[in-house]
Amino acid sequence: MSISTTEQVQIQGQIDDAGSADLQRLRDEAEDALELISIYAGMRGLTGEENRQAEWAIEVLVRLEATEKGKGSFFRAKRRAQLVIQYIAG
């Protein structure tokens, strides 16, 4: 199950509406979640809920980076794959 278009729009809306402190909080929360999920993925398979949390956190990081760099969908697709490898499959 991947992040739906509606959820992508919701995440982007949070980013667009957030101040710099809130953006840093979103980044920190996403990175913390992915660090923990990476540990779980190394020890055992992820549960459905953990997989969902990972997808959400990756989408937050991807959209934060794309917004900061003024990048579009190609950058997001490439970066998404990189983060999956880094935190889940790697």
Reported as a single tens digit per residue, the pLDDT across 19-53 is: 989 999 999 999 999 999 999 998 988 899 999 99
pLDDT at 88: 87
% of the chain beyond a pLDDT of 70: 98
18-25 contacts at long range (C-beta below 8 A, 24 or more positions apart): 23/64
Reported as a single tens digit per residue, the pLDDT across 44-86 is: 888 999 999 999 999 999 999 999 999 999 999 999 999 999 9
pLDDT at 45: 86
- Residue 47's SS3 state is coil
H/E element, 38: helix 20-43
Provide the whole-model pTM: 0.91
Decide: 1 and 51 in contact? Cβ < 8 Å: yes
